[in-house]
Structure 1
Amino acid sequence: MAYDTTRSSFRQRFMAGETLVGTFVKTPTSHPIEILGNLGFDFVVIDEEHAPWDRGTIDAGLLAARASGTAGIVRVAEPTPSKILAVLDDGATGVLVPHVSSAAKATEIVQACRFRGGRRGFSNTTRAGDFGAVGVWPHVDAQDAAVTFVAMIEDPEALDEIDAIVGTDGLDGVFIGRGDLTVALGAPAMDAPEIMSACETIIAAAKKVNKPVAMMVANADDAKRFNAMGATTFIVASDQGFLRQAASKALSEISAVGVKSA
């Protein structure tokens, strides 16, 4: 039986507060994931919420994550039990769930992610179960130990219930959605005082229950600032962002070769 150490260890590393670096993948194909995994990214987030991924392309993307030794997380478009079941059966290391604005919603998602104490539908004839090679209870135990549930905190109402949300049993950690919070609060920028105050509130609540915090960061300085506040997992850019940055730089540099000084 194949044993995916990346998948099995990600949750433990995340919850232990190790520094982990990942990126969003927007292009619905396996190739960017293979490149990122081979470079050494700890994880990729297949972004079904804001990119044109579907069940088939997610399946291929998760296979690429396994092949390149990176953890494959899926940001699901909607937190339904059937959607979560599909990506977990296809071999996702875990789910990043948008707009978790209440403890009740967090509990519903935990139920969809877990077998024991939950309501996840069972099948071991999937990639997650090595297509039937893993027995019933070994599959249950392995999945419950490995599947990672990260809640996105990105709504003002979530701040009022943040202690109850982060304290939800089975919730592994939170991701602070500064973009949505900025728009929802009408803040001028993602580093505006009200947004930084919200980040401090969320991180403080997570610290109380020893839950890790993930952040989207622009660069190393940004990561250092949020690491000092308590965040340990960082998402930087996306495959499209990396492509655009590198292509823009190359275009500018090569175009300048033929420019003659006056």
Structure 2
Amino acid sequence: MNSYEFVEDQVMINAKTELLSKVRAGVQPIGTFVTSIDPATSSIFGSVGFDFVIIDCEHGPMDKVHALNHVRAAEAAGIFALARILEKSASQIQSFLDIGVQGVIVPHVDNAEQAQTVAKACRYGPGGRGMCPICNAARYSLDGWQEHMHQSNENILSIIMIESRAGVENIEAIAAVDGIDGIMFGPGDLSQDMGLDLVSDKAQLTAAWDRVRNAVRTAGKIILVPAGFGFEGADMVVRDMDLMMLREQAIRVINAHRA
């Protein structure tokens, strides 16, 4: 009878270490949102050199089953999968971390108390993330659990979005919350909340961006921003969305053909 040695398939949880090391080396990591339920998009972005994808479960049609397939595609392509979730609840944060995303991006955080809830939910420990080894993140096993828990607490990226007047006004207290690793500036929803036009009222939005960026830097955290709107000085950028890129390329192809 043949005997086989089982080798545990553990994925290194190292998003925070890897991405922050690039930032410190002067390299600006770049990612993009994925909204298509087809995990081929995450695979493609990994193959061409993106550093991470953000599985968009706030505005996209994605459920957790689709998100799990994107996680697996990103892992196979050697890039990090983060998830923008729909709401800032501890239960939703836990459920996405359990499927194996290496970080969450939580929208509409307006004060330090909400940021503290997010930070706690992202880490194992008393009152924090619940323990369950029977999930993709832990590879469905208690084997190596202590190492998994340590890696998760050290390297899961906890990122919140500032996209309201209240968030900007409270940014210094928000940025100082222990356990929040980064803050993403959301100019779209912020412009709506401030009653501004995203394009023509750029000066007022830039003033908000400067305040947010300076507070985040002072707190020693990382700052993220959507690329293409002219907000300079971010540590990491997020470029477009998968289906937006597809549409733009389709327009270029059809215009070239008709020309």
| Shift in CA distance, 134/146, structure 1 to aligned 2, threshold 3 Å | farther
Q: Deviations over 1:7-48 (max 9, x none)?
A: 41x212444434100001011121111111111110000101
In percent, how many aligned pairs have the same letter? 28
- From 191, 204, 207, give the equivalent of 1:182: 191
- Whether 2:9 is the aligned partner of 1:2: answer yes
Aligned equivalents of 1:15, 1:118: Cα separation in 2: 27
Candidates 11, 16, 19, aligned match of 2:16: 11
1:136 offset after TM fit, Å? Answer: 3.0
Alignment partner of 2:38: what SS?
Answer: coil
User: 2:248 — aligned with what?
Assistant: 245
From 35, 54, 63, give the equivalent of 2:63: 54
- What does residue 149 of structure 1 align with? 158
Unmatched 5+ residue regions in structure 1?
257-262
CA contact (8 A) 1:21 1:235 kept: yes
Structure 2: gaps of 5 or more residues: 1-7
Tell me, yes or no, if structure 1 residue 202 matches structure 2 residue 207.
no
* RMSD between aligned residues: 1.6
Paired with 2:246 and 2:17, the residues of 1 have a C-alpha distance of 31
- Give, in whole Å, the separation in 2 of the partners of 1:27 and 1:67: 18
CA distance in 2, matches of 1:77, 1:189: 23
Q: Distance between the aligned counterparts of 2:49 and 2:126, measured in 1?
A: 35
* TM-score normalised by L of structure 1: 0.89
In the alignment, is the contact (CA less than 8 A) between 1:76 and 1:98 conserved in 2?
yes
C-alpha separation between the residues in 1 aligned to 2:104 and 2:93?
A: 7
Q: Which of 165, 171, 174 matches 2:174?
A: 165
CA offsets, 1:43-86, max 9 Å, x none?
00010100100011111111111111110000001122221111
SS of match in other structure, 1:132: coil
1:35 counterpart residue number: 44
Separation of aligned partners in 2, 1:64 and 1:210: 32
Is the 2:187–2:198 contact (alpha carbons within 8 Å) kept by the matching residues of 1? no
Alignment partner of 1:26 out of 28, 32, 35: 35
Alpha-carbon distance between aligned partners in 1 of 2:160 and 2:244, rounded to the nearest angstrom: 23
